[in-house]
Chains A and B, each alone.
Chain A
Amino acid sequence: MRKTVLTIWICAVFAVASIGLLPAASWAEPKGTVIMFHAGSLSIPFEAMEKAFKERYPKIEILREAAGSQACARKVIDLKKPCDIIASADYVVIDKLLIPSHADWNIRFASNQLVLCYTDKSRHADRVNEQNWYEILQEKDVVWGHSDPNLDPCGYRSLMALQLAEKHYGIPGFYEAVIANRPQENIRPKSVELVSLLQTGNMDYAWEYRSVAVQHGLRYITLPVEINLSDYAFDDFYSQAVVSVTGETPGSFMDIRGQSCTYGLTLIKDAQNEEAAIAFLDYILDPEGGLKVLDEMGQPPFIPCRVPTAEMKAKIPVVLQDKVEVRD
């Protein structure tokens, strides 16, 4: 009798133990490197996400490269650089350049807004405010700049904000007058580069995303919602702004219409480490994971994240599908 009890007991222990072991055996932990190209304005939140993610998956190495969003796409298309994930400061870049040749879907995961940054050393820092910034930018001794509209979405968005300011405040000719006070030398390839110009006192005011201003501890002026491109409910108003940027070949141009700042995320089709990349995407899209980090760093996330159509949702890896909703 005692023997039987013992046998049953031992069997039970083994059974429980093997149930415990079973998933561990069949579920191999993803490992290896994940290569990610992302917009310069995402550098700081992704650095924090990478750290937190590595605690969950110590065997995965995330290699990140920051560049202008368009340049990120170029690295994949032209240079054929191996890449798993692309995060763009404008989801349109993914639609325009990567789908359908290099990617199948495009998740909108965060928004942002434009602000005018300055430091306490900037000229007229003591008196600049929401009511007079557009006058200060027209003053001769003020050095202000934005990033290159041909390379960086923040660049054309800065110009759009100025065009919208002309409409919103009702000052005819404002856009041309203010641009005339911004020599070409004040343009930089990426908006984040303007931060060091502000901090070293080479520039007084610079157009940035609010997230960049928060992350770098810069002072900034919050602009009216009609100007700052933050809310897609205002997309109709934003679309009045049109900026001409360089097209496919030197000398050709195309028009970009104003739209709210919406960030896009995609997985490259022939990703070299799809399994680990999906694990990272799963973390990024998690409201308690990556999206929380974004929120803390001044980049309001969409919870849940969005895709425009049900067809596109069907193309997303199954494990990620419950983290997105279909919403135009």
Chain B
Amino acid sequence: MKVREPFFWVTISSGAVIMLFILVPLVEMLTAPSLTQIMETIGDKHVVRSIRLSITTALSAAAISFVFGTPLAYVLARTDFRGKRLVESIVDLPIVIPHPVIGIAILSVAGKNHWLGMILADLGIRVMGSVTGIVIVLTFVGIPFYVNAVKAGFENIPSRLEHVSRSLGASMFSTFFRITFPLARRSVLIGFVMCTARAISEFGAVVVVAYHPMIAPVLIYERFEAYGLKYSQPVAVWLISVCLILFLTLRILTMKSEKSP
């Protein structure tokens, strides 16, 4: 038998520690409620509504990130300009700002004390306590993950493929949509998943902007405060399960598209 070096055992044991660190609390939480509690909880229309709202708002945030983030990611991957570092740091800002601060920041431009809030009020758009507000917050926290993932994807596509396309007479638009984007499809999907995942887990910023209507993490918090652990855990179990199914499906879809071409 091959003699393992100590280094091998260091890597194995630290890996095991991390696995336990992540899994032990989660398994404990998933197994704490009884099956009847879990089944009762999904019969509760507030729970179903909040989970549905969580998923739709998170997907909307990812869709907005897709529309606005893809061109930005492309520019950042392909060009070099003065202040590029600055733009990249600005994109990363939402990752480092404490979540409640994000909520407060958004509320402060959405109120009547700010010109932007005045314009929104005139247009009849309400941010505080609305689905619009939730989507704005989730996009704010999710977009860095999308842009960074897609930027890395674009960087990995050799620009000579684009040059060939351009030299054969294709416009920049058609080069992007027929060459670059299809090749970057996988990173776009990864960015989309990352952004959705980040958005679905957000609590701190959302609860500042919108307590009602309740997304699932806010409902879990409300259930905990009002009724205790026993009634908040089953909701958490459902949220985690639904998310796992969602992300597994996306994973499988990516793997398929990986093989097909």
Contacts and interface: CB of A to CB of B under 8 A. Distances in A.
A201 B111 contact: yes
B227 A185 contact: no
B176 interface: no
A203 B117 CA distance: 12
Contacts of A251: 44
A202 B44 contact: no
Given A78-B229, A249-B231, A189 B211 contact: yes
Interface residues of A, number: 32
Interface in B216-239: 221-231
Interface string B74-102: 00000000000000000000000000000
Contact of A151 (B114, B128, B222): B222
Interface residues of B, number: 33
A78 B228 contact: yes
A244 interface: no
Given A74-B228, A78-B224, 13 more contacts: A74-B224, A78-B229, A78-B230, A121-B112, A183-B129, A184-B212, A184-B213, A185-B130, A189-B207, A189-B221, A201-B112, A246-B227, A250-B44
A200 B114 CA distance: 8
Contacts of B229: 78-79
A68 interface: yes
A248 B130 CA distance: 29
Interface in A187-214: 187-189, 193, 196-197, 199-203
B141 interface: no
Contacts, number: 84
Contacts of B224: 74, 78
Interface of A: 67-68, 70-71, 74, 77-79, 121, 148, 150-151, 183-189, 193, 196-197, 199-203, 246, 248-251
Which 8 pairs from chain A and chain B are nearest by CB?
A: A185-B129, A201-B111, A201-B112, A201-B113, A200-B111, A78-B228, A202-B111, A202-B128
A117 B94 CA distance: 33
B110 interface: yes
B211 A200 contact: no
Contacts of B150: none
Interface of chain B, main secondary structure: helix
B108 A200 contact: yes
B127 to A, nearest CB: 8
Given A74-B228, A121-B113, A196-B104, A187 B212 contact: yes
17 contacts: A74-B225, A78-B224, A121-B112, A151-B222, A184-B129, A185-B129, A189-B207, A196-B104, A196-B107, A196-B208, A200-B104, A200-B108, A200-B113, A201-B112, A202-B111, A246-B226, A246-B227
B227 A250 contact: yes
B210 interface: yes
Nearest to B218: A189
B211 A248 contact: no
Contact of B231 (A184, A197, A202, A250): A250
